[in-house]
Chain A
Amino acid sequence: MPIIGSLAGASSRGLGGLRTFIPPIPPSSPVFDSISTSFLTSSTPDIYFNSIPSTYQHLQFRINGFSDNFGSIFMRINGDTDVNMYSSTGYWGQWNQANAQVSGILTGRPAILPGVGSFQFGTTYPYVMIIDVLDYKNTNKKKNIRSFHGASTNGTHYNDGVGVSGGNYNSTTAINSVHFYLDGGNVFRANTRIALYGIKES
């Protein structure tokens, strides 16, 4: 626990206004575990998370990505390529649009599109995204994901934007693998990180 026990975590500015310093109390057991991470040192077209354990209630992917030439990210589940199994939707704001935009329901793709809004991984500016996969191992209901995502390219590309998306995998099968790839034959560049976490229920 770095910093704890001192005020090193806070600026001296405003300290006079601080009434209470509350040391965190570590939980007795972790509820948010790091399962695995893919951090790229060279380009690759595919990032896989296989053999996902069934010991959690929910999953979370935290993504900080780059591509060679602007590609939209897709999320394929359990290797299923059936275009009838996926749908996606979202709303977003984009740098050249004054108002928020909505997508409607997007179908006909062999994977979930978690970054609805045409946002694409760029070459220099990071694309950041958090994907939650809810009740991923439940075999009695179909699977849903939600994502929060965006990229800011300092106005250099129409890719500039932020949004939230939802996706559906029309299957009651437990999720045991996830495959991320980019459209248009683009590849993930070095420095891309996708980390998978598991969230436990009490």
Chain B
Amino acid sequence: MALTYEPIVTYTVGSAVSDISFTSITNTYTDLVISISSISNGTNNPTIVTTINGDTGNSYSGVQVYSRSSGGAAGNKNIDASFISLGRATGISGVNNGKSMMTVYLFDYANTTKFKGLLCQTYNYFGGVEQDVATWRSTAAITSINFNAGGNSWGVGTVYTLYGIKAA
């Protein structure tokens, strides 16, 4: 029986990397889900710089809301940005070897007639919890996505998985 929600590929980081990329994504599915169970390789927690199909133009916008372990709840927005800001406060831990979790939901990623929307939830023990929304103002099908850890990097043992979901 065909699966509706299936893992496409999973990787475990063997030595620290600054970029996590998925390329050559097929158009087989309706939605994509990306989970990153990360281990920080530094002491800063920058926003995760996310780009789609290699686009670094001002094609992105987003809103983030987060509740931090210090500083309380806050929000932020980006317009005409050159990347999507994900996990701005909590996507990667500011504590060396600290754990964090991030799940990204991409909707109708292969559709070629509308802009692309995504949701993201992140959490880390030392940082707090966060929800993000973003739009990529392009009607192109998404075939690749890159997550850059800014001034930090993903440490040994970080696991990231790409899943596909098929709608009837």
Spell out A's residues near B (CB within 8 Å). 1-4, 8-11, 13-14, 16-24, 26-27, 29-37, 39, 62, 64, 66, 91-95, 97-100, 124-128, 130, 148-155, 160-164, 191, 193, 195, 197
Contacts and interface: CB of A to CB of B under 8 A. Distances in A.
Nearest to B14: A19
A3 B167 contact: no
A22 B23 CA distance: 17
B12 A18 contact: yes
B115 interface: yes
Contact of A36 (B20, B26, B137, B168): B168
A3 B23 CA distance: 10
Nearest to A2: B26
B70 interface: no
B117 A151 contact: yes
Interface of chain B: mostly helix, strand, loop or mixed: strand
Residue of B10, B66, B79, B133 ringed by the most chain A CB atoms within 10 A: B133
Given A10-B21, A24-B7, A164 B107 contact: no
Contacts, number: 213
Given A22-B11, A191-B113, A9 B22 contact: yes
B121 interface: yes
B135 A125 contact: yes
Interface stretch (B42-50, B57-65, B90-98): B57-65
17 contacts: A4-B8, A9-B23, A9-B162, A10-B9, A13-B19, A20-B12, A32-B3, A37-B167, A62-B165, A93-B76, A99-B72, A125-B117, A151-B135, A154-B137, A155-B77, A162-B64, A164-B131
A34 to B, nearest CB: 4
Nearest to A191: B114
Interface residues of B, number: 70
Leading 6 A-B pairs by shortest Cβ distance:
A19-B14, A93-B65, A150-B133, A11-B21, A93-B75, A9-B9
Contact of A93 (B17, B113, B131): B131
A17 B135 contact: no
A98 B14 contact: no
Nearest to A33: B4
A98 B77 CA distance: 9
A2 B9 CA distance: 9
A11 B22 contact: yes
Nearest to A197: B4
A153 B16 contact: no
Contacts of B132: 150, 162
B20 A14 contact: yes
Given A18-B13, A34-B4, A93 B115 contact: no
B4 A30 contact: yes
Nearest to B76: A93
Contacts of A97: 75
Contact of A191 (B1, B16, B25, B111): B111
Given A10-B9, A191-B111, A95 B22 contact: no
A153 B63 CA distance: 9
Contact of B13 (A19, A95, A126): A19
